[in-house]
Structure formats: C-alpha cells, structure tokens
Structure 1
C-alpha cells in the first residue's frame, strides 16, 4: 500500500491505494512549509491523520504540496512525514508536478493549474522540462479565480459594471472600498479573498458583460503562458482547478481561438494521481 497526499495551504487530501484501487481516503488541514515549521507539520499529522489511521504503515508516501519547490522547504515536509512514517520511503513534490502527472500521465503535454492562482508547465511524459515564472497575485495569475475576482471588484468600485450587475453585486456583498482595501492590503491571502467573487461570475456567466470578462481572463492566460511554450500547438493542453472546471465551456472556446487542443479538465488532481501511481505499482 502507498499513501498519496495532495496539499494546499487550506486542506490536504490523502489516499491509500494499491494496484487494485483506493483503500481509504480522508482530508486534514493544509500543509505549507512557508507558513509552518517541520515540528508544527509533524504535530498536525499526529493529531489529525494518525488519529484517523493509527495503524497505517505505507510502503511509500508521495506528498505533492504548495510551497514544495525549494529544496529546504521539501526537506522540512520530508522530516515531518518521516517522523510520522519512520519505515516508509518519502518523496516530496511540488503541486505543479501533481498537475502534470495527473493530467498527462506518461504522455508529453502542457499542464495548467487554474484555481485560486494559476501556473503551467511543459511536461515530457517523465518530468517538467519548462516552467514559465509564476509572478503571483500582484503581477500575474492570469486566468485564475484571484485574477478574475480582482477584475470584477475593480470594475464594481470604478462604477463600470452595467446597472443590473452593479445592483446584483451590491445586494449580494454590500461591499465598500474600505473593506476591499483592508482585505487586499492589510490581511493575508488577498488572492483567496478575491477568488471568493468567482462564484458571482459563475452565477452570472450568461450575462454578456461577465462572459466577456471571463473570456478575456482566459485569453490573458493563453497570451502570457501557453503561446510562449515552444511549438505549443503540437501538444495536448490540460487543466486542473476549480476555475478551469466550472468555466470549462468558455475555456475551450478560448483554446479554439489559439488552435490549442484541450484534452483533460479536472477539478482536482487526486483521481489522476491515483491512476498514475496505481500504474507504477502494477
């Protein structure tokens, strides 16, 4: 039996799998070495995961997490997991590797994340061979929930929404400029705050103004990322994340504009990761 984890800053999904399928799954709090020490991660594992599965003895543990790209951050998570599973082989991978393996398997392709934030990579079927810099919420994250939410709130505060949308937005959120400034400039995770407004976009996606806003956000992602990969039109392009999944119809239309072949669109990578590792076991 092996154990797979897909972790963000908010939650971690865990699955026990064998070559025959999934044995068990659960969720715990998120793990991010930029915000937690190795000791804090180990304590969380002891108090949550090992309380649910006290007798678990995986042969191997594959952890995919946000913040796990730098070697020192990987080492922090590895130390905590090794404490929880002293007899297990531990491997730590970045969440972009989770996307690539879940979406592409062992085939070359371009794997993209479109959730609260955005990211992408060129994958050769075995490893990531090219990754354009992710400039984050302030300077980038095109096509993400944070990016779309920011554009929506900007348009609302600048009185640029059509009257019907402006009224609907105000009635729903009762938003003020001071509240927005406080959440963006004084509180942590402004991208998460802005991404919460993606629900409004989804509910009003048939409105021409909102449709065009979503369409343009995806176009910005293609312009800043997809078209910059060498020979990008020769690859299948795949997406994972809540924004890609819930706005997949619009995403596919934007892809057609760029003559891009979209194959898989998943809400989260866990199913694809499970299949990838099951095939490795077999």
Structure 2
C-alpha cells in the first residue's frame, strides 16, 4: 500500500492506494516542521486515521509546507517513522506537489496560494528556481494569512467600510484585544488570520473586499512571478484555496499584469495520486 500526503499549515489531504487499486481518502490537520517538532507531529498523527494503517503501508510520499530544508524533511520523516517503521518514506516540498499536479511534464510556473504562498519555475522535470518564502510575518504575499492580516489591521485602525466592519463584529464578535490575543499569544496565528478569508470572499462584491484580494495577488506577482526569466511566455498555474475560491479576481489581476494563467485547482492531491499510480 502507498500513502500520499499533501500537507499545508492548516490541513493535510491523505490518499491511500490499496493493493487492489482502490483509493481511500482522508482530510486531517496540517503539519509544518517550522512550527512543530517531530514529537508534536507524531502525536497528532496518532490521533488521526493513520494509526489504523501502520502495519500495511509500504511506501509514503509526503509533500509538505516547510519541507524544503534537509533538517525539516528529517523532522517529518522522524514523525512518520515512529508510526510506519517499516515503510520507505519520501518527503518533499509542497512546491514539488504543485508542479507535478499542475504542470505535469511541461514547463511552467507553479504557485501556491493557500494559508501561505510560494512559487517555483519548473522545466517539466525539475524545479529550476524558487523565490524566498519568508513566512507569515515577513512574507506570504497573496496567501490567506497575508489577506487576513491586512483585514484585521484595517479593522483595528477603522480603515474599512463601516458596513463591513459591523458585519465582521456581528459574525466574529471581535475587538482589538481579541485580535491581538489570538495573534500574539495563542498558537497558530497564521491560521487565525487566514480564517477571515471566507468572510472576505463572501463579501468580495464589495470593492473593499475585492481590493484586498486584488492587491494581495498583485503583491504576490511582484515578489514572485515577475522575477522568473521570460515569465510572460510561461503558463502560471495555481494551487490552493485562496486561488481557487477567488479565481475570478486572480485571473483579472494576472491579466492586468501580463501573466498567462493556465490551471487553478484547490489542491494537488488528485494529481499526485495519478502521478504515483503511474509508477505502480
């Protein structure tokens, strides 16, 4: 049996390819080795569905946020090996997942716009270049945390339309103190900030909410896509909930910026499943 995982900071999509060819699926919490130790990840995995499969999994392909550096890959490998001691484990960056799922064997630019953001220039086989991923405090342009942070900053400074502010208070019962407590004292502040994106998307007919996404996407293009050679002639592909559920704004911002958008999908797990099935 083969276990495939696509993991972000907020959630993980799992697929199991059984020996008879059947595929089972599960969605669980996210794992990021920059913010979690191998012990913490292993504890969470044991509370997930994985413990029921520990004796049957023979090979694991784990694609995850924060899994580019060797030491971070080792953290995830150690967490998985505590449960699947006999399995052959492969850990790779979520950019590889995005490239395989959207570009396949063709050249292109693969982008992630979920809770965070990232991108790479892909030649159809290997990742040629990436841009720095500075994380939710210093980067993540275009991602949910980035959009949510701007929304909350505008809320605190009363720099948003009054109708949107009132709707947010009614929906979330937020105050400046509550926001600051979640951001500075509670765990996983990036998830908290990104959690407001559903509300922003629901109200994107309002010019203010539309502009939050439009400007965030333009910021992402400036920090990422514009810096790849010959980007105007390469298809740009996007993976992630922020890109998928706001694809109309994303395509408009890209068109205004001279970027050719090809595929926009919510997650790469289906493409990854096909990718690894072909190797059987």
Scaled by the length of structure 1, the TM-score of the pair is 0.89
Structure 2: gaps spanning 5 or more residues: none
How is 1:197-276 mapped onto 2 (pairs within 5 angstroms)?
Answer: 197-276=196-275
Residue by residue, what CA displacement relative to the aligned partner does 1:252-281 show, whole Å, maximum 9, x if unpaired? 111111221111111111011112222333
Moved more, 132-141 or 37-46: 37-46
Moved more, 77-86 or 65-74: 77-86
Residue by residue, what CA displacement relative to the aligned partner does 1:160-208 show, whole Å, maximum 9, x if unpaired? 2223222222222232111222222222322211111112211110112
C-alpha displacement of 1:221: 1.0
Structure 1: gaps spanning 5 or more residues: none
Task: Report if aligned partners of 1:18, 1:278 keep a CA contact under 8 Å in 2.
Answer: no
Distance 1:53 1:144 in 2: 33
Distance 2:39 2:168 in 1: 43
Given the alignment of the two structures, is residue 117 of structure 1 paired with residue 116 of structure 2, yes or no?
A: yes
Task: Report if aligned partners of 1:19, 1:278 keep a CA contact under 8 Å in 2.
Answer: no
Question: How many residues were matched structurally?
Answer: 280
Task: Report if aligned partners of 1:119, 1:134 keep a CA contact under 8 Å in 2.
Answer: yes
Query: Which 4+ runs in 1 deviate beyond 6 A?
Result: none
Equivalent residue, structure 2, for 1:97: 96
Distance 2:20 2:262 in 1: 26
Moved more, 69-78 or 16-25: 16-25
Instruction: Call closer, same or farther: CA 1:36–1:150 in 2, change over 3 Å.
Output: closer
Instruction: Call closer, same or farther: CA 1:204–1:88 in 2, change over 3 Å.
Output: same
C-alpha displacement of 1:132: 0.6
C-alpha displacement of 1:65: 1.7
SS of the aligned residue for 1:265 comes to strand
SS of the aligned residue for 1:107 comes to coil
What do you get for the CA RMSD once the two structures are aligned? 2.3
Moved more, 38-47 or 244-253: 38-47
Distance 2:213 2:52 in 1: 41
Distance 1:10 1:212 in 2: 24
Scaled by the length of structure 2, the TM-score of the pair is 0.89
SS of the aligned residue for 1:192 comes to helix
Equivalent residue, structure 2, for 1:189: 188
